[in-house]
Amino acid sequence: MPTGVAIRDVREQLFDAAERVLLRDGPHALTSRAVTTEAGVAKGVLHRHFDDFDAFLAELVLDRIARMEAQAAALRESAGTGTVAGNLTDALMTLFQSVAVAIVALITFRDDLRARLRQARPGGGIPLATEAAAMIASYLTAERDLGRIAPDADINTLAPTLIGAGHLQFADREVPPPDTAAVHKMVTTVIAGVVTAQS
């Protein structure tokens, strides 16, 4: 690797390589050697920028959580446009067609990673899944404020229900992921009792 490359560039190169390994081979195949091989760099590069492999994985998860903020903002801004079911379907397709499902599997697979993430982000829950549920809850709240969701809708139950059901649809790596119609059907079923006629 050329000298003088910014640390952030190296980090992104390693994070992207880790995502490719995760998506292709699953969490059991994710090792420091697999990541550096995938990234096309010497193994020492990873250890120059991170204390150990679990520190690298924790930073990967935290970086991907931070990236979700842009998706959350876009989803909130869509409130009042289109349909509630359509907006939620689009958000879940975007979320779960990314590396999110593989990262949740990785977190549950590695005890040391979970411990580091609990230190970095106290408050419980499964990282990434918790932030995804918060993103959905924020959107549903905006729609409730606009009158497109019933005023008594239990958003704190609806949001994790949508994330959980979506995760289950995408979690099996052995079968093709669901199409938009299947996700839309699930979303429509979950929110059927709370959407108003105008949404």
All structural domains of the chain, each given as residue ranges with its CATH number in brackets, are: 1-49 (1.10.10.60), 62-191 (1.10.357)
Question: What mean pLDDT value characterizes the chain?
Answer: 89
Count of other CB atoms within 10 angstroms of residue 186 = 21
Query: From CA 126, how far away is CA 137, in angstroms rounded?
Result: 16
pLDDT digits (tens, 9 = 90+) for 16-33: 999 999 988 888 899 999
Looking at residue 31, the DSSP 8-state letter turns out to be -
Structure confidence at residue 7 (pLDDT): 47
Above 70 in pLDDT, residue 39? yes
| Collapsed DSSP state (helix, strand, coil) of residue 78 | coil
Residue 179 has pLDDT above 80, yes or no: yes
Answer with the residue of higher pLDDT: 107 or 92: 92
pLDDT digit string, tens, across residues 140-170: 999 999 999 999 999 999 999 999 999 989 8
Predicted confidence (pLDDT) at residue 199 exceeds the cutoff of 70: no
Distance, in Å, from the CA atom of 129 to the CA atom of 184, rounded to the nearest integer, reads 19
What pTM did the predictor assign?
A: 0.83
The CA–CA distances, whole Å, from 72 to 19, 22, 93, 136 equal 21, 24, 13, 8
Query: What would the pLDDT profile of 83-102 be if each residue is shown by its tens digit?
Result: 999 999 999 999 987 777 88
The pLDDT of residue 140 is 98
